[in-house]
Amino acid sequence: MISDYLKLAIENIMHRKLRAWLTILGIVVGIAAVVALISLGQGLQYTVDQQFSKIGADKVTIQAKGSQGAPGSSTGNTILTISDYDIVKKSQGVDGVVQVLIRVGRVEFNKNVKYMSIRGLPVDDTSKIYLETGVYDVGQGRFLKSGDKNKIVIGSEIAKSTTFGRAIGINSKITINGKEFTVIGIFKEGSLSASTIVMTLDDTRTLFNTPDEVSTIMVKVKDATQLDNTIENIKKDLRRHRNVKEGQEDFTVQSTKQYIDSFLVVFNVITVLLVGLASISLLVGAIGIANTMYTAVLERNREIGVMKAIGARNSQILTIFLIESSLIGLVGGVIGIILGALIGKIAEIAIGVFLGPGFFKVFLPWWLLVGAALFAVIIGTLSGILPARQAANMHPVDALRS
């Protein structure tokens, strides 16, 4: 019996191909947008998690309050200094500490000028802390070492010809704030340092005349299981040193997990809003299905009358029309899923071209594919309920007369 209903529904849809495809298009657009956005969102969450995981669960970052949005800069006059760095080194639970100075410099190459992020990193024994993170993995040349002066390592994006009109290679000369530096290394593609220039901490202090300031202090804790206790010890010591009360700190102490959680809260809100906007097209598609089914009922009055005259029950008429509207939703859902997955894969390839293969990966979990298909079927079914009820409740005599 169901197979007969299904066959009849397919024949009715194929009889009005153009109208059916135009109706299906509304569902396709909505489902494709939702699938693409969610798959890209899943991929972005994975990428962020992977990049922060490289830093390690045993790492803590300390910055002046107000500098989180732009590393190395802070609002107001709040800054960290070398004395803060010395205090953190002595905090209970701390295994090692490294200081970083971040500034924006005027970079000139091939007669082109850009303003870029400059990071000053120490080249002493503390350097092993940030080298463990993998953020500064070198793809060409070498990294900075003790004794280097006026030498830099640049990001892969900076080295490309699209940045300065000519590719930058090893031993190229770059002018920063009027001073010439030699490129000795280029970071790997896909690195978080793709658009960063790194030089020794001493060179940075001299170049920007900042003998005492520290932008970021990275801490490696002795025991990752005691991370929260170590963070509290650091906060307590810094409050005492900077003479501030609890709750009025002019600095932040955050672990890698806290950075991830903070990002994901904001990102999830944005994702929900975007998916909500994309779902508006599903509402349009649902209206299109309802309109198509109402039209089908009007066009098939005589057919409905004949079926009722030969004994078809109201429930059977209702089932035929509901199957038809559900099929429209299902076909639109399947095509939308394929299109959405394709959009996600194209985005993955495009990002890979700019940031390196494997940097970004789109995820299409089974629950997303199955959920999108079911949602499309539900949309189609609900949109067909009123037209189907109208057809089922039609009086046989009235239907035959029309």
Local structure of residue 126 (DSSP, 8 states): T
Please check whether residues 238 and 362 belong to one and the same domain.
no
| Nearby residues of 5 by Cβ (< 8 Å), 6 or more positions away | 316, 319, 320, 323
d(CA 31, CA 22): 15
* CB distance 65 to 53 below 8 Å: no
Mean pLDDT of the chain: 83
Please check whether residues 23 and 71 belong to one and the same domain.
no
Asked whether residue 193 is domain-assigned, the answer is yes
- Which residues does residue 119 pair with via DSSP β-bridges, in sequence order? 102, 198
Tell whether the model's pLDDT for residue 66 goes beyond 80. no
**Domain end marker among 249, 272, 291:** 249
Please check whether residues 228 and 356 belong to one and the same domain.
no
Asked whether residue 13 is domain-assigned, the answer is yes
Please check whether residues 41 and 77 belong to one and the same domain.
no
Q: Please provide the size of the chain in residues.
A: 402
Please check whether residues 245 and 96 belong to one and the same domain.
yes
d(CA 288, CA 299): 16
Please check whether residues 272 and 349 belong to one and the same domain.
yes
Tokens of 185: 């290394």
Neighbours of 140 (CB within 10 A): 16
Neighbours of 234 (CB within 10 A): 24
pLDDT band at 49 (very low <50, low <70, confident <90, very high): low
Please check whether residues 307 and 372 belong to one and the same domain.
yes
What is the distance in angstroms between the CA of the first residue and the CA of the last residue of the chain?
Answer: 28
Tell whether the model's pLDDT for residue 342 goes beyond 90. yes
At 355-394, the pLDDT tens digits run 666 667 888 888 888 988 998 888 888 888 887 787 777 7
Asked whether residue 255 is domain-assigned, the answer is no
Q: Give the torsion through C-alpha atoms of 191, 197, 202, 208, to 10 deg.
A: -140
Please check whether residues 238 and 336 belong to one and the same domain.
no
Residue 113's nearest CA partner among 169, 151, 165 is: 165
Report the relative pairing of strands 251-255 and 216-221 from DSSP bridges. Answer: unpaired
SS3 content of the chain, % helix, strand, coil (to 5): 55, 20, 25
Local structure of residue 166 (DSSP, 8 states): S
Tokens of 242: 């900077």
What pTM did the predictor assign?
0.59
At 292-324, the pLDDT tens digits run 777 777 777 777 777 777 777 878 778 888 888
Residue 83 structural domain: 66-249
φ and ψ of 190, to 5 deg: 85, -5
d(CA 85, CA 217): 7
* CB distance 201 to 120 below 8 Å: yes
- Angle, alpha carbons 79-82-85 (nearest 5°): 95
Please check whether residues 339 and 228 belong to one and the same domain.
no
At 102-129, the pLDDT tens digits run 999 999 999 999 999 999 999 888 888 8
The pLDDT assigned to 70 comes to: 44
d(CA 246, CA 35): 45
Structure-token match 């002019």, residue found: 250
For the chain, what is the domain count?
Answer: 2
The pLDDT assigned to 21 comes to: 85
Asked whether residue 308 is domain-assigned, the answer is yes
At 144-166, the pLDDT tens digits run 998 999 999 999 999 999 899 99
- Which residues does residue 63 pair with via DSSP β-bridges, in sequence order? 216, 252
**Domain end marker among 190, 224, 249:** 249
The pLDDT assigned to 290 comes to: 82
Please check whether residues 237 and 282 belong to one and the same domain.
no
Please check whether residues 72 and 48 belong to one and the same domain.
no
The pLDDT assigned to 119 comes to: 93
Neighbours of 281 (CB within 10 A): 20
Local structure of residue 97 (DSSP, 8 states): E
Report the percentage of the chain scoring pLDDT > 90. 32
Q: Which of 42-51, 83-92, 301-310 shows the highest mean pLDDT?
A: 83-92
Asked whether residue 305 is domain-assigned, the answer is yes
**Of residues 248 and 264, more confidently modeled:** 248
**Domain end marker among 223, 249, 275:** 249
Q: Give the torsion through C-alpha atoms of 300, 301, 307, 309, to 10 deg.
A: -160
**Of residues 189 and 64, more confidently modeled:** 64
Asked whether residue 201 is domain-assigned, the answer is yes
Asked whether residue 74 is domain-assigned, the answer is yes
Please check whether residues 37 and 99 belong to one and the same domain.
no
